[in-house]
């Protein structure tokens, strides 16, 4: 049982963060978590690149969740079952038997769950189609067989037919998969078979929107020729053309209820095992209905019935309540709504009675547009309220002059509301456009970066502009001999390397470029995480095709478009893989293919750095020039292939002779160079190297038993920190020493220069 004083850490396992159904539920979870000061980590189990590629990361996510220290888990089992099947979902959840858990939308086995009463909304919608629109041929686009929600809605369709005395016809039932694509295919099937159809009811909004798209493409008018309905009431439903009639699921309430339930499990409090929330139809243009504000009666200036102020408030408040989303946290209570509207009516009376003081009422309207903004379509609710007041004007004002004045004020209010909607739309469009531009610019700066340093600079400078206030960007710790980590050989690496981490709130910036290790399961390095700080984080694996590279942990801030995380993840993954490839290519371009030593390019790239370091650290530097003896004789007598063997042998001897930290390179043909940096005892090191070279040559010749003996001549020069001269000068001196030794050897005279002996 968790302590009441501990900040709880709850995991959310979902299929896709930016998909409209899941994102609406997730926002309910996040909003409730923020209010309760819960630490929320959302694990995204798939990746879609908006074309044809769909990657699943359930195995990766499973290990991170199972080995983490989260207190509870919310699982979107509906989407998981849709894509992976119910048996997979059932087996998968067994990995979390030790964690308090709740399922969303599709309860699995005996796990607690939050779901919707799918049947009542479907049946009520069918009653509406038959009674109001006189439909007879009602088609149904269902979901995957075996999916609990889809099966429930299919059962409701059959019950609705029976209730309305309509015959079940197999030709009017089409199997779908919750996507827009299945909506397109369903329309094609019905049209191609010339099946008479008045209504197409879809199992969810996405497939219904696909139906609308295909009907419009085929030039069928909606709803006069064919009506359409969906289920869910996602954000796109009210914005489509025509607006989609649907069954509203309290999606955000589902998220909040799920979080509350899992908290009860964690604390050992009583909880419901299965929670079923109501779903109600929302009638819009796609079924043949007009919006209520359009159908509202014009002001009845001649009515004889009189309404008391109390009756006016009862009717107007009830009307306003029908627009409010009670499933949203923070929605004003009925008493608060009544107080708002009472003040509104009082301000209208005041404006009419005190003609010298105007616009009190308009200011109240403007204030209510603001107060209802987060909990309803604020324009629709205020239009409905103004229409109600127009109807009740004769009860509020008895004199004709007052009626005329009040009518004019209400017309001004309608104008204000229309202006508010236009300004809101324009402001929202401008903000979205600017934010989209920032996302696009950030994505371009990431995807066009091929060096890790520049990639990290691009991320650290641009992500805060996207309101990403903290980030962990890490790669898995792997040994080179282990090879790539792929989906097939996946196992959670014990450690990860932090490439970049920042937390703007705590003013923490960690820019180690892979030099900081931390436990992968912890997600955060220890200096970037405080248990008492609540926040919402999005965990996404970074991958390229089947190779798993690492992960990104983004902090969510209210207002961030959820699709952005997927965009950034894909670009970060591609850029990270490109940086690895470029680094590998750079290394390969600096290595000699035959010997594996540095080539001339590699030496000239690394040597200046060592030369500069020698001055900073006040150390001596030593350069050896080496040359194989009699390579031409080996090539002439035994062939060039054997000459390559001899060159490789010489490289092996030099590799054993010098230290691991020394720079050794083949600079062409049979010529080699080595560079050492050391302290005041470097002269002694020179003698040791010459001894090791003799021993290595002797061992090589004895083991290899070649018909020739491998022999190497070597010249050396040494410089301390106080000596002037460039790196090129030292290299030239070492080469000159080698030439002296080679000439003496060729004349058959042994060298008498102790520091530069001839080595046979």
419 and 460 both lie in a single domain: no
From the list 433, 437, 388, 386, the residue with the least C-alpha distance to 412 is 386
* H or E element in which residue 538 lies: strand 536-544
Distance of CA 176 to the CA centre of its chain: 27
DSSP letters of 363-397?
Answer: HHHHHHHHHTTTTS-HHHHHHHHHHHHHHHHHHH-
SS (H, E, C) 544-560: ECCEEEEEEEEECCCCC
The answer as to whether 154 is a domain residue is yes
The answer as to whether 521 is a domain residue is yes
What is the SS3 assignment for 524?
coil
* 353-to-2, 348, 349, 361 alpha-carbon distances in Å: 61, 9, 6, 12
The answer as to whether 12 is a domain residue is no
619 and 714 both lie in a single domain: yes
DSSP letters of 85-119?
Answer: -HHHHHHHHGGGTTS-EEEESS--TT--EEEE-HH
349 and 421 both lie in a single domain: yes
What is the SS3 assignment for 666?
strand
The answer as to whether 35 is a domain residue is no
From the list 37, 448, 481, 417, the residue with the least C-alpha distance to 263 is 37
Domain span holding position 398: 300-427
3-state helix, strand, coil in the chain (%, to 5): 50, 20, 35
pLDDT along the chain (760 residues), means of 10: 68 91 93 92 83 76 93 94 88 94 91 91 94 95 87 94 95 92 95 94 95 95 95 87 92 93 95 91 91 45 69 91 79 92 92 74 91 86 90 89 90 90 78 79 82 85 89 90 88 93 76 79 84 86 92 92 91 88 77 90 87 72 91 93 94 90 90 83 76 92 92 88 78 88 71 41
- The pLDDT value recorded for residue 148 is 81
From the list 562, 561, 539, the residue with the least C-alpha distance to 551 is 539
- The pLDDT value recorded for residue 291 is 61
In the chain, how many domains are there?
4
Among the candidates 364, 398, 427, a domain finishes at 427
CB 391 within 8 A of CB 319: no
615 and 541 both lie in a single domain: no
CATH code: domain of residue 720:
3.30.70.270
* H or E element in which residue 664 lies: strand 663-668
247 and 344 both lie in a single domain: no
Beta-carbon neighbour count of residue 617 at 10 Å?
Answer: 10
| Greatest distance between any 2 Cα atoms in the chain | 134
Distance CA 390, CA 312 (A): 11
Buried b (16+ CB within 10 A) or exposed e, 693-725: beebbeebbeeeeeeeebbbbbbbbbbeeeeee
Distance CA 50, CA 42 (A): 21
The gap between the terminal CA atoms of the chain, to the nearest Å, is: 77
Buried b (16+ CB within 10 A) or exposed e, 50-89: eeeeeeebbbbbbbbbbebebbbbbbbbbbbbbbbebeeb
389 and 452 both lie in a single domain: no
610 and 717 both lie in a single domain: yes
Distance CA 164, CA 167 (A): 9
CATH code: domain of residue 528:
3.30.450
Provide the phi-psi class of 545: left if phi over 0, else alpha when psi is between -120 and 50, else beta.
left
Take residue 317 and report the two structure tokens written for it.
């408040």
Among the candidates 524, 556, 589, a domain finishes at 589
Take residue 554 and report the two structure tokens written for it.
């983004």
Distance CA 654, CA 650 (A): 6
The answer as to whether 51 is a domain residue is no
519 and 409 both lie in a single domain: no
CATH code: domain of residue 320:
1.10.490
From the list 516, 538, 511, the residue with the least C-alpha distance to 456 is 511
Distance CA 26, CA 252 (A): 7
Take residue 206 and report the two structure tokens written for it.
């996405």
DSSP letters of 53-66?
Answer: -EEE-HHHHHHHHH
307 and 357 both lie in a single domain: yes
The answer as to whether 412 is a domain residue is yes
- The pLDDT value recorded for residue 61 is 95
DSSP 518: E
Take residue 115 and report the two structure tokens written for it.
């779901």
Tokens 């204030």, residue? 367
Distance CA 181, CA 187 (A): 10
Take residue 525 and report the two structure tokens written for it.
């390095």
137 and 234 both lie in a single domain: yes
The answer as to whether 49 is a domain residue is no
391 and 488 both lie in a single domain: no
SS (H, E, C) 675-721: EEEECCCHHHHHHHHHHHHHHHHHHHHHHHCCCCCCCEEEEEEEECC
CB 309 within 8 A of CB 397: no
- The pLDDT value recorded for residue 147 is 82
pTM exceeds 0.75, yes or no: no
CATH code: domain of residue 147:
3.40.50.2300
Among the candidates 427, 457, 489, a domain finishes at 427
Distance CA 159, CA 156 (A): 5
- The pLDDT value recorded for residue 305 is 66
Contacts of 291 (CB under 8 A, 6+ apart): 243, 284, 285, 380
The answer as to whether 24 is a domain residue is no
- The pLDDT value recorded for residue 358 is 62
* Bridge partners, 516 (sequence order): 498
611 and 718 both lie in a single domain: yes
């Amino acid at each position: 049982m968790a302590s009441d004083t501990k900040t709880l850490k709850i995991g959310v396992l979902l299929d896709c963060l930016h998909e409209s159904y899941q994102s609406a539920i997730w926002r309910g979870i996040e909003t409730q978590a923020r209010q309760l000061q819960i630490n929320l980590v959302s694990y995204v189990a798939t990746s879609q690149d908006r074309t044809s590629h769909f990657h699943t990361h359930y195995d990766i996510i499973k290990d991170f969740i199972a080995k983490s220290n989260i207190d509870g888990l919310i699982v979107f089992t509906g989407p998981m079952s849709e894509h992976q099947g119910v048996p997979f979902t059932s087996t998968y959840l067994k990995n979390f038997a030790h964690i308090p858990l709740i399922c969303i939308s599709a309860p699995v086995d005996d796990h607690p769950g939050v779901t919707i009463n799918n049947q009542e909304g479907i049946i009520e919608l069918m009653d509406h189609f038959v009674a109001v629109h006189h439909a007879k041929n009602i088609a149904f686009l269902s979901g995957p067989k075996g999916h609990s929600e889809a099966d429930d809605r299919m059962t409701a369709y059959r019950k609705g037919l029976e209730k309305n005395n309509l015959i079940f016809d197999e030709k009017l039932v089409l199997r779908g998969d919750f996507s827009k694509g299945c909506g397109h295919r369903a329309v094609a099937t019905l049209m191609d078979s010339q099946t008479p159809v008045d209504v197409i009811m879809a199992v969810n909004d996405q497939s219904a929107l696909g139906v609308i798209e295909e009907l419009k493409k085929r030039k069928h008018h909606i709803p006069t020729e064919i009506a359409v309905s969906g289920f869910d009431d996602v954000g796109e439903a009210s914005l489509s053309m025509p607006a989609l009639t649907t069954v509203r699921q309290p999606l955000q309430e589902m998220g909040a209820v799920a979080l509350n339930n899992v908290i009860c499990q964690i604390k050992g409090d009583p909880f419901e095992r299965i929670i079923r929330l109501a779903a109600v139809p929302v009638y819009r243009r796609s079924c043949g209905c007009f919006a209520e504000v359009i159908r509202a009666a014009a002001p009845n200036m001649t009515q004889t019935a009189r309404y008391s102020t109390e009756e006016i408030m009862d009717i107007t408040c009830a009307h306003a309540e029908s627009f409010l989303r009670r499933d949203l946290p923070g929605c004003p209570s009925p008493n608060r709504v009544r107080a708002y509207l009472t003040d509104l009516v009082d301000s209208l009376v005041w404006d009419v009675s005190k003609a010298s003081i105007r616009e009190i009422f308009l200011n109240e309207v403007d204030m209510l547009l603001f107060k209802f903004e987060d909990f309803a379509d604020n324009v629709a609710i205020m239009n409905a309220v103004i229409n109600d007041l127009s109807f009740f004007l004769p009860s509020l004002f008895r004199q004709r002059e007052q009626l005329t004045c009040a009518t004019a004020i209400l017309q001004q209010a309608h104008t204000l509301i229309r202006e508010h909607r236009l300004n809101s739309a324009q402001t929202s469009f401008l903000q979205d456009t600017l934010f989209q531009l920032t996302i696009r610019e950030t994505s371009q700066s990431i995807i066009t970066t091929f060096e890790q340093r520049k990639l990290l600079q691009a991320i650290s400078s641009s992500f805060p502009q996207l309101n990403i206030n903290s980030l962990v960007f890490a790669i898995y710790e792997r040994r080179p001999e282990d090879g790539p980590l792929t989906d097939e050989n996946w196992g959670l690496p014990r450690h990860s390397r932090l490439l970049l981490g920042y937390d703007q709130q705590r003013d923490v910036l960690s820019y180690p470029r892979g030099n900081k290790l931390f436990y992968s399961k912890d997600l955060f390095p220890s200096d970037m995480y405080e248990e008492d700080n609540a926040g919402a984080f999005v965990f996404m694996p970074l991958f390229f095709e089947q190779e798993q590279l690492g992960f990104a942990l983004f902090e969510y801030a209210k207002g961030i478009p959820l699709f952005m995380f997927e965009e950034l993840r894909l670009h970060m993954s591609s850029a990270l893989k490109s940086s690895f490839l470029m680094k590998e290519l750079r290394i390969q371009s600096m290595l000699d293919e035959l010997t594996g030593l540095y080539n001339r390019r590699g030496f000239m790239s690394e040597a200046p750095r060592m030369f500069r370091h020698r001055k900073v650290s006040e150390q001596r530097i030593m350069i050896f020039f080496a040359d194989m003896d009699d390579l031409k004789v080996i090539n002439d007598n035994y062939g060039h292939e054997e000459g390559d063997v001899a060159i490789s042998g010489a490289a092996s001897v030099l590799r054993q002779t010098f230290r691991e930290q020394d720079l050794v390179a083949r600079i062409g043909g049979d010529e080699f160079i080595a560079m050492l940096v050391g302290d005041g005892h470097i002269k002694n090191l020179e003698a040791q190297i010459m001894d090791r070279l003799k021993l290595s040559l002797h061992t090589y010749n004895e083991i290899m038993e070649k018909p020739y003996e491998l022999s190497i001549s070597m010249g050396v020069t040494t410089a301390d920190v106080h000596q002037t001269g460039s790196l090129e000068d030292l290299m030239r001196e070492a080469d000159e020493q080698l030439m002296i030794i080679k000439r003496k050897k060729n004349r058959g005279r042994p060298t008498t220069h102790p520091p530069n002996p001839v080595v046979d």
